[in-house]
A and B are shown apart, each in its own frame.
Chain A
Amino acid sequence: MNGFVRFSMWVDRVLLAVACIALVAMTLHITADVIARAFHQQVVGTLETVSYYHMVVAVLLPLAFVERNHENIRVDVLVQLLPGPVQLGFYVLACVIGFAFFGALAWQSGLDAYKSTVRAETIMSNFLFYIWPARWALPLAFGATCLATLANLMKAVGERRAL
């Protein structure tokens, strides 16, 4: 059980680190294009790479980390007035809903990523641009979030208190 929690925490951190790298890449990529433009040049494919790769990775991969640390925006006021066991009950409910939601997203986006890979999905811009690898960020992020939710749930039940 402890091993599972530690594994899922490790996954969160790795994904977060990749997202941070994507943020840096996004900053540099856009800046490079702006500088190139001042010299009547361009970094070809900035819009496509930034939107479909850097953005998707930076926005979605930290999800498991955010879920684990309860940085997903939620409303505490009402629940804090309730007795501990009721709080725990609602927390378990929230975890179950979260698990089902992210599970459904992981499952469907996994199927989509697979299909996209098989047909080598592209978008048309001023050239042909492959986007299928970016699709895999979704099942990865949502799947890891399921693990994080499960780990939180086990911890809450073990400690008999809402997290």
Chain B
Amino acid sequence: MSNFDIGVAGIVVALVLVAVRVPIGIALGSVSIVGIGVMTSPRVAWGMISATPFDFVGQWELTAAPMFLLMGYICTETNLTQGLFHAIRLFLWRLPGGLAVSSVGACAFFAAASGSSVATAAALSRIAVPEMLKRGYDKGLATGTIAASGTLGSLIPPSVLLVLYGVYAQVSVGQLFMAGFIPGLISALIYAMMIIVRVKITPTLAGEDDIRPSWGERFAALKDVWPLPVLIVSVLGGIFLGYFSPTEAGAIGTVVACLIAALRGSLTWTAFRDALVKAAASTTGIFIILIGSVFFTRFLAMSRVPKEFSDLILGVSTDSWWILFAVSVIYIVLGMFIDSIGLLLLTLPLLLPLVKGAGLDLVWFGIIVIKLLEIGLVTPPIGLNVYVIKGALGNLVTLPQVFKGVGWFVAMDILTLILIILLPGLSLWLPSIMLN
């Protein structure tokens, strides 16, 4: 067996192991170590174990991941998000599907405080979905809205995925954060418009939206709007004014979130402890996949599969349109099965040489990749955001209901993706004015 054959066999075995419920990180890691051992020698495989986890985890740039997760969990555990959602709802009640549109807005706001799509979806699923179901919203629409809008968490800065992409592709994380902003807002707007149009055509989707708040009620609701905007402004403002770097912003955001919660009297010991435990557990859950994918990356690199693969694609054409099309197809297909972080790290070593060869802008390409990964978060059979919502709601909804509701949003995602590709300025304008 040649190294190339071993590489291909490794991919197949890893996919089978994942399918029979071996945790993804363990499947990738164990296949890679055995594969490297078979390709070279057991000594090299042991050497890879020595040379990988410690030096991978001990990276300053990656500290942003646990810190932004902790900040997000502090927000949800101390109920910093509810006030904003409630107020937006009271102001948008007249819109068709106003509650769903409010949820999109609240997700966009929360995304600006949270680094992760899954955390964004988890936070809003417990606040917004029960509210919508209570008002008789279609189950698919209610859950689909949150599953899809949760993915704004990775496009609107801060974003763990953008941090990982920046570290890997050696692109400035600050520039990536700026670049994701407008595409994130456009995604949110397109979701909202789609909801409004659909509800206009089929009003029953939105049940009986019977709240008619007085102006007094609306202004009363404004009192509790401030926590999230204050947090977001202090995090993004601090980065912009040069008080701290995007990497450090998560730690500052955590402290600010704690201070806000303390001011509102919601920073209980239980909330703080739960936020810590959840942040620790989800960080580790992410990093074990990361470590597995680093092993897998090395295994694939040694097998030369990525090189053959990119030669195959470049053999068809080296036109940038073809490459972007091929990349999109690869991500949408693999995204059905593989988690976003794993997929990102799995594919970058294959795709970056291609993209650099075609002379594409790496910041712009990063935004395209993140948007593609977001789509993977909500497509069956493995859609992490969908699982999160199902997990939060228990038996109120079934998985097929959620996946069905998400379908419309995926169609909108593809529309947004085409816009991002056709108009690079959407991604590159903000970073360019930042420079001047």
Contacts and interface: CB of A to CB of B under 8 A. Distances in A.
Q: Do A and B come from one complex?
A: yes
Interface of A: 16, 19-20, 23-24, 26-31, 33-34, 37-38, 47, 50-52, 54-56, 58-60, 62-63, 65-66, 69, 71-79, 90-91, 93-94, 97-98, 100-102, 104-105, 108-109, 111-112, 131, 134-135, 138, 162
B59 interface: yes
A30 B26 contact: no
Contacts of A20: 273, 276-277, 280
Interface stretch (B50-58, B100-108, B194-202): B50-58
Give chain A's interface secondary structure class: helix
Give chain B's interface secondary structure class: helix
A51 B59 contact: yes
Interface string B81-100: 00000000000000000000
Nearest to A123: B58
Contact of B284 (A26, A37, A54, A66): A66
A75 B19 contact: yes
B60 A47 contact: yes
A40 B252 CA distance: 18
A38 B53 CA distance: 34
A66 B58 CA distance: 20
Interface in B118-149: none
A37 B42 CA distance: 48
B384 interface: yes
Given A23-B66, A58-B280, A101-B29, A30 B384 contact: no
B24 interface: yes
B43 to A, nearest CB: 11
Interface in B287-314: 287-289
A93 B63 contact: no
Interface of B: 17-27, 29-30, 33, 46, 49-50, 53-54, 57-60, 62-63, 66-67, 70, 243-244, 248, 251-252, 254-255, 273, 276-277, 279-285, 287-289, 337, 339, 380-382, 384
A134 B384 CA distance: 33
Given A27-B254, A56-B57, A94-B21, A101 B26 contact: yes
A74 B24 contact: yes
Interchain residue pairs A-B with the least CB separation, the first 3: A30-B251, A72-B23, A62-B284
Contacts of B17: 97
8 contacts: A27-B70, A55-B62, A56-B57, A65-B284, A66-B281, A78-B381, A94-B22, A97-B30
A59 B279 CA distance: 10
B124 to A, nearest CB: 20
A16 B59 CA distance: 21
A99 to B, nearest CB: 10
Contacts of B281: 16, 62, 65-66, 69, 71
Given A30-B67, A55-B63, A73-B285, A79 B21 contact: yes
Contact of A101 (B33, B46, B57, B62): B33
B250 to A, nearest CB: 8
B30 A100 contact: yes
B19 A78 contact: yes
A34 B248 contact: yes
